[in-house]
Amino acid sequence: MNMDFQSRYSVNSPSVVYETIDGETILMNLANGFYFSFDGIGAVIWELLTQHASPKEIAGLLQNSAADVPVNVQENIVAFIEQLTDNNLLILDTDPASVFVSTEQSNALLSQAGPMNIPPKLFKYTDMKDVLLLDPIHEVDKRGWPEPRKD
Amino acid sequence: MPSHIYNAFPGPVQQYILKAALLQGKESIRAWESFKTQWDPDGILDGGSFRLLPLLYKNLLAQGCTDERMPMLKGIYKQAWCKNQQLFFDVQPLLEMLVTANIQPLLLKGIPLSILYYKDRGTRPMSDADILVPRPQARKAIDLLRKNHWIPENEAYLEYNLRYGKSMMFHKQKGFEFDLHWYPFFESAHQLYQDIFFENSREFILGGNSFRTLSAGDHLLHILVHGLKFNPEPPIRWIADAHQILCEAQEEIDWKRFLGLCEQFKVSLAIREALDYLVQTYQSPLPAEITQGLHQHPVSLTERWVHNYTISHSEDLPEAFFPRIQSLWINYLRLSPHRSLMRHLWGFLGYLRFRTRGKNYLKIMTYYLRRSLQKVRTYAF
């Protein structure tokens, strides 16, 4: 994929749906039924990407908001975007009208991001038929659905 | 499960969940603490209560609750969200197919409730979709669905259902299923009422496309009539559904029409009980004159009998003769638009005639009179 630090992205809707709950973003690609999640810095980057922020703009915002941002943050962001695009969650947005405007909401988001030095991690679940059948009270571990109980 | 259970209203533990899920601040947290003392997560929670847990999670989260059981509740919410999203996605081609065939679908219950009143895709779990089509187009819709490999459930009852029923279930691949309705509920299952819900319908957006659903007032009526019935799975979700509608859309409800429909469908008693309960227990916002208006509606003995029966008995026909006749009679009364006994009796004979696949009236009357006499004789001697 032709990607640079200035590229902008859009959610691959309508087949991709998402919601952020209590700092965790959950996504479904309805075209294949796969489920994804990420939290912490990943959820913040996702939110900024949906507002058409480029990797460079996101890195700038993160660096301005906290002291523990690693020097290779821009590379981490690009690697995360690659995972998102590889899974058809995000698509390149070539519309010149798509621009990012920093708002109070995006600044508030950054303040709730948690540790910045942990690279974003995408969790992917492809066996949704089984995962959806899990009893979310009795067959899951302490983290709750969709993590199955080990015993 | 015995068929004589009064479970349309919640028991004490179910009421804790509802209060924790619907009320705000300390009242919500207090109800949650009370529920926790009664709930062993290793035990079994009834289906009606389980379906409220995603809403409970979102409400507790909004109250800032950090209880150790929150990750489990969050997982339940996420699972419901995934299932609902798939349902929202799967239903759209079906709706588009009906629209393309010039059949106007109205969505009922879960999907529009989630979008319009819960304003959340995960707080109201649902297992299927409910689609209402105009009664004169029901057969066309069924033929279209069959042609497109949808499989009807209980096809043997198709003609009976079209004449005296309200809906039929269809399923296809991937476990997706839906109910095709030609009337929203039994009490409205008469050609006199085939247009009224469409005339008053409203738009809503699903997946970027415009579809139609019941107006807020008609939705409230549907939920209450549907909810205040016996159901093997406790139907207490009607409380959350109705509360959400009242909180979000109470001002847009045409209350004059609502009261008129309650009287027309002979459900004033049921609706009155439901709304009184909502206002007293959950402080649901409702203009006082509405409950006053309902209390002024005359309630006939028949309406009272039908209500008391349907709220405590399964819709399945009992095996024993007299309970079976009673159940058939009640089922008929629910869908009869008439008010005089003679017209009810005449209509009931036609109803029995249809159920017995066209036997003539004399044979039907003779059969039931003979069976009744036999039974009376058995009991008497």
Q: What is the pLDDT of residue B159?
A: 87
For B243-261, give the DSSP string.
HHHHHHHGGG--HHHHHHH
Best CA proximity match to B198, nearest among B83, B118, B108 = B108
Q: What is the pLDDT of residue B5?
A: 59
Nearest residue to A73 via CA among A57, A53, A89: A57
Which residues from B are below 8 Å from A13, CB to CB? Answer: 208
Entry pTM: 0.91
d(CA A34, CA B92): 19
Q: Is the pLDDT of residue B3 over 50?
A: no
Residue with the bigger pLDDT between A145 and B157: it is A145
Query: What would the mean pLDDT of B280-293 be, rounded to a whole number?
Result: 95
State mean pLDDT over B340-353: 86
Total Cβ atoms within 10 A of residue B362:
8
Residue B100: enclosing H or E segment and its boundaries?
helix B70-100
CB distance from B209 to chain A under 8 Å? Answer: no
Residue B138 has pLDDT above 80, yes or no: yes
Q: Which of B36, B31, B10, B33 is nearest to B19 (CA)?
A: B31
What was the pLDDT predicted at B193? 86
Assigned domain for A4 exists: no
Cα separation, B256 vs B265, in Å, equals: 14
HEC string for chain B: CCCCCCCCCCCHHHHHHHHHHHCCHHHHHHHHHHHHHHCCCCCCCCHHHHCCHHHHHHHHHHCCCCCCCHHHHHHHHHHHHHHHHHHHHHHHHHHHHHHHCCCCCEEECHHHHHHHHHCCCCCCCCCCEEEECCHHHHHHHHHHHHHCCCEECCHHHHHHHHHHCCEEEEECHHHCEEEEECCCCHHHCCHHHCCHHHHCCEEEEECCEEEEECCHHHHHHHHHHHHCCCCCCCCCHHHHHHHHHHHHHHHHCCHHHHHHHHHHCCCHHHHHHHHHHHHHHHCCCCCHHHHHHHHHCCCCHHHHHHHHHHCCCCCCCCCCHHHHHHHHHHHHHHHCCCCCHHHHHHHHHHHHHHHCCCCCHHHHHHHHHHHHHHHHHHHHC
What is the number of alpha carbons within 13 Å of residue A79 lying toward its C-beta? 9
- Whether B72 sits inside 8 A of A30 (CB atoms) is no
- Collapsed DSSP state (helix, strand, coil) of residue A34: strand
Asked if the model's pLDDT at residue B4 lies above 60, the reply is no
Within 8 A of A134 by CB-CB distance, chain B residues are: 79
Q: Is B357 left (phi over 0), alpha (psi -120 to 50) or beta?
A: left
Is pLDDT above 60 for B1? Answer: no
Judging contacts by C-beta atoms under 8 Å, the chain A residues touching residue B76 are 136-137, 144-145
* Inside any domain, residue A97: yes
Angle, helices B53-62/B70-100, rounded to nearest 10 degrees: 120
- Average pLDDT rounded to a whole number, residues B36-65: 95
Is residue A150 situated within a structural domain?
no
| Least confident piece of the model among A2-6, B185-189, B300-304 | A2-6
Confidence grade of residue B2 (pLDDT, cut at 50, 70, 90): very low
Q: Do A134 and B61 touch (CB under 8 A)?
A: no
In this prediction, residue A35 carries a pLDDT of 96
**What is the pLDDT tens value at each position of chain A, 151 positions in all?**
456 788 999 999 989 999 999 999 999 999 999 999 999 899 999 999 999 999 999 999 988 887 778 888 889 999 999 999 999 999 999 888 888 887 777 777 777 777 878 889 999 999 888 899 999 999 999 999 999 998 7
Parallel/antiparallel/unpaired status of strands B177-181 and B129-132: parallel
* C-alpha–C-alpha distance, residues A22 and A31, integer Å: 26
* Residues 6+ positions from B316 with CB-CB distance below 8 Å: B3
pLDDT for position B189:
87
Yes or no: say if B113 and A58 are a contact pair by the CB < 8 Å rule: no
pLDDT of residue B183 exceeding 90, the answer is yes
Confidence of residue B381 (pLDDT cuts 50, 70, 90): low
Tell me the residues of A at the B interface, defined by beta carbons under 8 Å apart.
Answer: 13-15, 17, 19, 21-22, 24, 26, 28, 30, 33, 35, 128, 132, 134, 136-138, 140, 142-147
Confidence tier at B380 by pLDDT (50, 70, 90): low
Q: What residue of A is the nearest CA neighbor of B42?
A: A138
The verdict on residue A2 lying in a domain is no
Q: Which of B77, B79, B89 lies nearest to residue A132, judging by beta carbons?
A: B79
* ipTM value: 0.92
Q: What is the pLDDT of residues B19-49, one digit of tens each?
A: 999 999 999 999 999 999 999 988 889 999 9
Nearest-CA neighbor of A83 among A123, A39, A31?
A123
Nearest chain B residue to A37, by CA: B78
Tokens 């001002």 sit on residue = B251
Of residues B193 and B120, which shows the higher confidence score? B120
The count of other CB atoms within 10 Å of the CB of residue B375 is: 14
Q: Does B205 touch chain A (CB under 8 A)?
A: no
Q: pLDDT averaged over chain B?
A: 91
pLDDT at B321: 82
Residue B315 has pLDDT above 70, yes or no: yes
In a domain, A20, yes or no: yes
Using the beta-carbon criterion (under 8 Å), do B85 and A30 form an inter-chain contact?
Answer: yes
- The reply to whether A151 falls in a domain is no
3-state secondary structure of A15: coil
Domain count across chain A: 1
Note whether residue A145 is domain-resident: no
- Please indicate whether, in this complex, the C-beta atoms of B74 and A142 are within 8 angstroms of each other: no
Q: Which domain holds residue A39?
A: 9-129
Judging contacts by C-beta atoms under 8 Å, the chain B residues touching residue A137 are 41, 45, 50, 72, 76
Contact A21 B77 (CB under 8 A): yes
Nearest CA in chain B to A33: B86
Task: Give the C-alpha separation, A21 to B73, whole Å.
Answer: 12
